[in-house]
Amino acid sequence: MAAAQSGPRSGHGLTLDGIGLVEAGEVIRGAVGWNRCPDDLVERLWLHTDRNPMHLASLVRQYSADELIQRTALPAPQDVARDLSVRLAAMDIEAARLLRAVAVTGAMWVDRLEAVAVAQIDDPSAAFAFLNDAGLLVVRSDAPLADVRIVHALVRAAVYQSTPAAERRAMHERASHVALSTMHRLEHAVAAASRRDEPLALRLEEAALAAHLEPDYRREAQLWQWASQLSASVAGRERRWLESQLATVLARDTRAVRAHLQEFAGVGDEARREVLMAWLLVVEHRIADARRTLESLSSDALGKADYVVRRRWRVLTAWTMLASGYPAESIQALLDQLPVVTELDPAERPFYVRAAGEIARGRMDAEHWRRDLNTVPIDARATPMEETDNLSWRGAVYALSGQASEARRDLSEVASRIRGGRVDTLNGVPHALHSFSLWLDGEFDRALIEQQAATELSPGALHPLVQAMLPLIPTVRGDFTRADALLDESRAVLVDLPWHVPVSVLVVATVARLHAGDDDAARAACLPRLRAHFGGELTAPNYGSGALWQLHLALARIWAGELDAVEGHLKAIETDLVAPAWSSWCRPWLSGLRSERAGRFRDAHRLLKESIAAFTGDLPLYRGHVQADLARVSALAGDSECAARSSEEATRIYSGLGATAYLNRLPVAATVDPLATLSDREREVAALLLSGFSYAQIAQELYVTRSTVAFHLSRIYAKAGVESRHQFTQQVRLARSGGQ
């Protein structure tokens, strides 16, 4: 915090550096009522007070955390504002007026001529010079008309607070006519207002609707809030306030909305209020509660609602019914009452696209699916920003159909846009689907990174689809205790919310877990347990959840001895609306396993060899399964040479993928995992390094700094006994190839 300095003539001096962010957190959270202060507010306060612990302590004594969270501009401590007020009173009157005008005009760089117009000074040159020399004003450059700003945000806040209210309103009024941007003009007009102003409220409403289309939900929420406060009628204030709360929900700030829940009860616009409440529950992933809220709305209340509210009700009701496993006919009846998707509100489109898409898949509506898949360019990077959700939907379709390369193409672009802050996080679902596609491609370490991003980006409860995918990584790594616990958690959610897509992923994860183990009784019980939890229709080939789901259901059929039913799943894979290339080797593989189960080992031997001969580059983990199956069946058929060769190949595939769970089932000893001594975070860094990522790319992918990446790499190299990226890469590849 303090450092001694010495010079050749002056002896010693003392420099105050301020406190660090961690220390600031301790100061803030040590104050009464501040123990749960969010990290982002801690950082805002730390920067705002220029790391001064006394200013920090003053602010947390004078304000509550909730008060400061709601402020777009943080205040100055009262003692700082008083000191500035005294200093301004002793200052030249034009210099003081100019400084106040700069404080009113903006918090960042300000057009100097705009500030002069607000201050109403004829010749500001002397005032600018004085403020610059006094260290109160900073000039952006030496250009004649360079922008200016107050030296620090804390000083600006103190100047603003110390400006008399009448003078401040007059300055805002003048600024509302000279500010360059529409938003700034509106901000100043609001700050200048002293009574209800319906014309201004209408201007704010128009700006809010424009912000919604961009979309910029935080700005929209602020505009609706101002419009509500300025509305002339009670009904107008209620409607606009509810719209501000909905925009806050869309901005994923659910905590802020829940802080106002008690105020909801007094609002007379029942339909708008209940639809807002349902949307809040959807964002919190309390989907069944959202559906019940929507269903409880009376036809009378809905009939009194305006067109926008009724449209929102239909979209959300259709989607929550889909997620709750309702019949397709009931959902389609609601969708038919909606306009075409291009005429829907941007916030409603994702719900419509997914509901209509899943219904179309169940009905094998090829025309609808072609339209969905061709909505965005093949080159995912060329997709317009406003079409990102459609790109995410196409990636989801490919991922759930087992087409990993196409899914990765789309979902990696979506994840990149989310990481870059260019689009909303969408509750972690795109990251989870990207993780799933990486898992299908055998990149388990990178899949774990995306999986963790999905959980970190989820507000509160996990999305059911995110939750259903979590067991996949512990399964392939042999952490069966963790995988089983995650399966139980996901199953408990989906029993009450039998949404086809997450249920189909849960089926994949369940079968994958049982396949990795060696409990034949548990495998045989898999199908009956699924039926007990989700009903007999789940296991029918026409359930309509994609080729990958059909593959895993066929495996469960074989384990249960329901061999005649396997053909239905094979046909469903081959005739799927998005038929994968791997279907060519899937049929002989599953047919071979069916023959093995029936005791026809020679037929099984022949079919499994046909499967390997037809291999494509897809699903490397599953190609390892085929080799392992051929090794086992070859031994049963008396072909020891083929058994040894296939076992060796399965070992090579599993070792290369790091799928350690499967190695114990093979006669060949497992290769030691070269990353075994690394921590979880070091494994993530190593996975990205081995995938060819640069330092900057690794930092962006993991949401850390480049220096943190360098620190982890130094530890990785030390543990591996190497000195460079090249040496480490060679060592890992050599180890995973079995030293060959």
The tens digit of pLDDT for each residue in 18-70 reads: 788 888 888 888 886 788 888 888 888 888 888 888 888 888 888 888 888 87
541: preceding bond cis by omega (within 30 degrees): no
Look-up of token digits 């060959």 = 740
* pLDDT at residue 16 tops 60: no
Give yes or no for a contact between 522 and 560, defined as CB atoms under 8 angstroms apart. no
Give yes or no for a contact between 60 and 31, defined as CB atoms under 8 angstroms apart. yes
The tens digit of pLDDT for each residue in 701-721 reads: 888 888 888 888 888 888 877
pLDDT of residue 294: 97
Give yes or no for a contact between 671 and 655, defined as CB atoms under 8 angstroms apart. yes
* pLDDT at residue 3 tops 50: no
Cα–Cα nearest to 395, from 367, 429, 439, 423: 429
Q: Using only the alpha carbons of the chain, give its radius of gyration.
A: 31
Confidence of residue 457 (pLDDT cuts 50, 70, 90): confident
Report the residue count for the chain: 740
pLDDT of residue 312: 96
Please list the residues that pair with 483 across neighbouring strands.
Answer: none
Angle at 193 between CA 189 and CA 194, to 5 degrees: 170
Mean pLDDT of 528-546: 88
Helix (H) or strand (E) holding 12: strand 11-16
Q: Which two three-digit tokens encode residue 262?
A: 């008690």
| Long-range contacts of residues 698-701, Cβ cutoff 8 Å, at least 24 apart | 700/419, 700/420, 701/419, 701/449
Count of other CB atoms within 10 angstroms of residue 386: 13
Please, is 641 exposed, middle or buried when counting C-beta atoms within 10 Å of its C-beta (0-12, 13-18, 19+)? Answer: exposed
* pLDDT at residue 599 tops 80: yes
**% pLDDT > 90, the chain:** 61
Q: Mean pLDDT of all residues in the chain? A: 89
Helix (H) or strand (E) holding 138: strand 137-139
In whole angstroms, what is the distance from residue 421 CA to residue 218 CA? Answer: 14
Contacts of 71 by beta carbon, 8 Å cutoff, 6+ apart:
none
* pLDDT at residue 674 tops 50: yes
| CA distance readout (Å), 732 to 101, 450, 675, 717, 737 | 63, 22, 8, 11, 9
Give yes or no for a contact between 538 and 530, defined as CB atoms under 8 angstroms apart. yes
Q: Which two three-digit tokens encode residue 396?
A: 């989801």
pLDDT of residue 348: 93
The pTM assigned to this predicted structure is 0.77
pLDDT of residue 6: 44
The tens digit of pLDDT for each residue in 414-443 reads: 999 988 888 876 688 999 999 999 999 999
148-150/137-139 β-pairing: antiparallel
The tens digit of pLDDT for each residue in 200-228 reads: 999 999 999 999 998 899 999 999 999 99
Give yes or no for a contact between 712 and 682, defined as CB atoms under 8 angstroms apart. yes
pLDDT of residue 740: 45
Q: What are phi and psi of 616, to 5 degrees?
A: -105, -175
In whole angstroms, what is the distance from residue 544 CA to residue 463 CA? Answer: 21
* pLDDT at residue 464 tops 50: yes
* pLDDT at residue 569 tops 50: yes
